[in-house]
Amino acid sequence: MSAPVIMWFRQDLRLSDHPALAAAAAAGPVIPLFVLDDETAGDWRWGGASRWWLHRSLESLGASVPLVLRRGRADTVLAEVLKATGAKALYFTRDYAPWSPALEQRVKAVCEQAGAECHRYGGFLLHEPEAIRNGSGAFFKVYTPFSKACFAKGEPRAAKGPVKPTWATHTLERPALESLALLPTRPNWATGFEPVWRPGEAGAQARLVRFLDDGLHRYADGRDRPDQENTSQLSPHLHWGEISPHQVWQATRQAMDSAAGRLDRDGEKFLKEVLWREFSYHLVHHVPSFPETPFRPEFADFPWAMNDGALKRWQQGQTGYPIVDAGMRELWTTGIMHNRVRMIAASFLIKHLLLPWQEGERWFWDTLVDADIGNNAASWQWVAGCGADAAPYFRIFNPMLQGEKFDPNGEYVKRWVPELKDVPAASIHKPWEMTLPPKAYPSPMIDHNKARERALAAFAAIKKDEA
Ligand code: FAD
């Protein structure tokens, strides 16, 4: 019997189109290992909603894979497992979080010490950060030329089928999933997640099929409508690697090909969104301070107005602006928020309340099932106007107009803000203008026009400092 190899699962919780697992399976009997490492990521250890998802995803993977589960610093755990099993090699998928390069170096050293080979594979992204460069060899700071460079690379490699490793026999203890204590205890705030999500590879594939059958054809025109289901909802599945971006890309291309041109506009738009994910990750890889520090240095001195009470009202969906509150309550109940509403709610926090974008980023980190170090950081900096290729700070979303445009009948608002269920569509995005506004719903915590002026003045202050 040949010596075993270790497959260290990370955000690649699937069996198909899995380069690291395929290589491990070809090298010998495989010990599948998952390590819950709350130390390496420090303040960015998984938030509550991510932990719920992770539990369910490991449960799903564990139904077909004899996972060995551990807690602790990944390099320390790997050293122990290498020693205990005499494994001849370690396989894993590359990760791009700011703390990952150092961790992966430590893991390499641990393998060397144990006399084991160390093999790292891609698979989380379509394009490695080193592979997409501008004419002068630097990374792209603007999305459009970045996406053009990705398209110019040609089609990503074809997605591969499921891997069927021979699982190694070993004497390692296999504690139950419950030992990781990932699920909420009391109160169980995740009851609203269960009916919405099916974590795991099968759930991811089902989502993709459903979207391509009934969603993609509405994507280009409908993706901004939170009252309708027009987007893929693949983000948590992509985040945990339950599906690879190659599988998503290839299946979309196949759907476009078989529609003989009818889906081209929708398909292109969708693939470009998938490339926003790549762009975000490349940024965070090249600028590891991205999750914490504004990319544009002038924003370091932005005159934020710290106010815990205001932050709480935003978090609890009690701002008095229906579209913002609907989004924040959708987030709390289901672990997700529609992209358009994320932009509106984020803009409200940063510009209406003048609260630092990092506060919103942290809240999303804890509450989103797709909380993602790349997409979350890049998107918050985008809305705040301080990121690479960001929306200009002075573009301040008007929550009433946004609501009227993207939730014209107020159906989204009524779904999440029951206090407004009897309000006619004409008033749903500004109920305070009604003769008798619903008593149970708060009036706006800040006047829109005043907030706008205050935000522009704050922005002018940093511009002046810069001049
Ligand atoms: P679709 O429209 O179906 O898009 C397909 C895939 O493309 C998504 O699953 C996602 O992986 C990627 N994608 C789509 N839009 C974006 C985008 N703007 N930026 C980067 N990738 C994108 N996305 C996350 O995955 N995790 C986060 O933590 C996250 N935080 C965000 C915070 C803010 C303030 C904002 C404005 C956006 C954030 N996004 C985040 C981006 C976006 O809102 C979600 O990716 C999207 O809503 C997921 O829904 P979907 O899968 O139906 O997307």
Q: Please write the tens of the pLDDT for every residue from 202-239.
A: 999 999 999 999 999 999 999 999 999 999 999 999 99
State the pLDDT at residue 96: 97
Predicted confidence (pLDDT) at residue 390 exceeds the cutoff of 80: no
Cβ(305)–Cβ(355) below 8 Å: yes
Domains with residue ranges and CATH for the chain: 5-124 (3.40.50.620), 125-158+201-286 (1.25.40.80), 297-461 (1.10.579.10)
State the pLDDT at residue 467: 55
Q: Best mutation site among 233, 247, 277, 381 for ligand 1, i.e. most ligand atoms within 8 A of its Cβ?
A: 277
Contact partners, residue 199, CB within 8 Å, separation at least 6: 53, 56, 57, 59, 60, 236, 237, 240, 242
Spell 52-66 as b/e; 16+ CB within 10 A means b.
Answer: bbbbbbbebbbeebe
Overall average pLDDT of the 69-98 stretch: 98
Burial category of 419 from C-beta neighbours within 10 Å (exposed 0-12, middle 13-18, buried 19 and up) = middle
Q: From the CA of 343, how far away is ligand 1's center (Å)?
A: 10
Overall average pLDDT of the 260-274 stretch: 97
**Pairwise CA distance, residues 431 & 321, whole Å:** 9
State the pLDDT at residue 1: 63
Residue nearest to atom 11 of ligand 1 (CA): 235
Residue nearest to atom 25 of ligand 1 (CA): 235
Predicted confidence (pLDDT) at residue 466 exceeds the cutoff of 70: no
Predicted confidence (pLDDT) at residue 458 exceeds the cutoff of 70: yes
Residues with CB under 6 A from ligand 1: 223, 231-235, 238-239, 273-274, 276-277, 280, 339, 342-343, 346, 364, 368, 370-372, 375-376, 379-380, 383
Decide which of 463 and 73 is more confident.
Answer: 73
User: Could you give the C-alpha distances from 276 to 68, 150, 159, 379, in angstroms and in order?
Assistant: 34, 11, 20, 10
pTM to 2 decimal places: 0.98
State the pLDDT at residue 393: 81
State the pLDDT at residue 465: 63
**Which of the 8 DSSP states describes residue 384?**
H
**Pairwise CA distance, residues 212 & 267, whole Å:** 9
State the pLDDT at residue 228: 97
The owner of tokens 């008095």 is: 320
Overall average pLDDT of the 249-260 stretch: 97
